[in-house]
Chains A and B, each alone.
Chain A
Amino acid sequence: MAKKKNTVAILLIIAALIALIPLFTLKGAEFGGSDDAGSKVVAQITGTDYQPWFKPVMETWIGGELPGEMESLFFCVQTGIGVGIIAFFMGRFVERKKIENEIENERKQTKQTKQTMQSKQSEQTSSL
């Protein structure tokens, strides 16, 4: 159990490092989206600035590009929904396991006390 915990911790640290190292090593990089990079290649291949034939529905609704802050808000909402569900169920699983363990321990204890009582009784009868 403890060993598993360590592996998980080490794995998470590695993941965090892979994610953060570029931020520190590539100083001054733009960190734009790679999806946007894709559209640049399209422009490069077709030779002209490609005009998308359909605008995102949100941009049509609000009549302009989604403000950056709003975009991060929606991304956060997405993360929040996901984390909420995972945390909720994981919490239930963890508690369930705890209760299961407790019940098992109790059973063992009652068994043990019964056994000891029985053995005591048998001792008493034999001494008589």
Chain B
Amino acid sequence: MSIKEKGFFISITTLSLLFGILPAANAMHIMEGYLPVQFCIAWGVICIPFLVAGYLSIKKTLSADRKSLTILAMAGAFIFVISSLKIPSVTGSCSHMTGTGLGAILFGPTAVSILGIIVLIFQAILLAHGGLTTLGANTFSMAIAGPLVSYGIYKLCQLLKVNKYVGIFLAASIGDLFTYCITSFQLALAYPSATGGIAGSAVKFLAVFAPTQLPLAIIEGILTVVIIMGLETYAKSELTTIGFLHGGKN
């Protein structure tokens, strides 16, 4: 197992290093070539500090206890599964969820940026879904802004002493919705409408994404609650180590 752990750690490290070095032409699911160059670069640059913080946060979690790696791998795998499932929605079009809420709740928002970008790169290269040029913008919406909101809502629910599972549900689903809000906003920034400007254009994009995403956000919330219930039953010691149980800090 230790060899496996080493392999996984090294691959995560190299991947994260790569992103530190690669030009910032990096991208959730704005399609390849759909953002003007300056926007691609700008979003990429904005992502870099978050990615570095994410790398450091993962490193810290792992050096505190290597056993956390299993949970980290599961959080990453959850994003893989969830974001690969295209689900039909009420509007008659398909969309997929982000799955980033789980990681954000367990490991804090920055750690997810690393997990998210791995998925985005996989999809950009192999699936022509999202894209390399829009990687920065997509990373920002799916792997940074969404998880930040999830984490914030989760902590807020803790403060307000809302039922834990309700808090997790809200965190995951609102984070998912927020990801699409950001995507709309990013598209609107690049394509302000002639009559309404950026705001008018944002409303238009939101009108396309939001109704489709709403039911999916609910599903994502439910799935996140289910997997956390499962982990609580079977992996209590790991969850305690990463500070999820007993009200510790992430």
Contact = CB atoms under 8 A, between A and B. Distances in A.
B15 interface: no
Contact of A74 (B77, B93, B127, B219): B127
B126 A82 contact: no
A68 to B, nearest CB: 12
Contacts of B226: 8, 11-12, 15
Q: Is the interface of B mostly helix, strand, loop or mixed?
A: helix
B76 interface: yes
B141 interface: no
A32 interface: yes
A41 B81 contact: no
A63 interface: no
Contacts of A123: none
Interface string A49-90: 010111111110000011000010011111101111110011
Contact of B201 (A4, A11, A45): A45
B250 interface: no
A37 B77 contact: no
Interface in B108-149: 119, 122-133
B93 A30 contact: yes
A39 to B, nearest CB: 6
B90 interface: yes
Interface stretch (B41-49, B58-66, B156-164, B209-217): B209-217
Nearest to B80: A82
A82 B84 contact: yes
Contact of A54 (B77, B125, B133): B133
B94 A86 contact: no
A103 interface: no
Interface string B195-222: 0000001001100110011010011001
B84 A93 contact: no
Nearest to A61: B125
Contacts of B132: 54, 56-57
Contacts of B32: 52, 54-56
A11 B133 CA distance: 38
A39 B87 contact: no
Contact of A45 (B71, B80, B126, B204): B204
A86 B77 contact: yes
B81 A38 contact: no
Interface in B80-97: 80-95
A127 B233 CA distance: 49
B30 A33 contact: no
A85 B76 contact: yes
B81 A34 contact: no
A120 B83 CA distance: 64
B79 interface: yes
Given A45-B191, A89-B74, A15 B223 contact: yes
A125 interface: no
B213 A34 contact: yes
Contacts of B84: 75-76, 78-79, 82
Given A30-B92, A33-B94, 8 more contacts: A4-B233, A22-B92, A35-B29, A82-B77, A82-B80, A86-B74, A96-B234, A97-B233
14 contacts: A7-B229, A29-B92, A31-B93, A35-B29, A38-B187, A41-B204, A45-B193, A45-B204, A52-B32, A52-B34, A53-B36, A56-B132, A57-B132, A86-B227
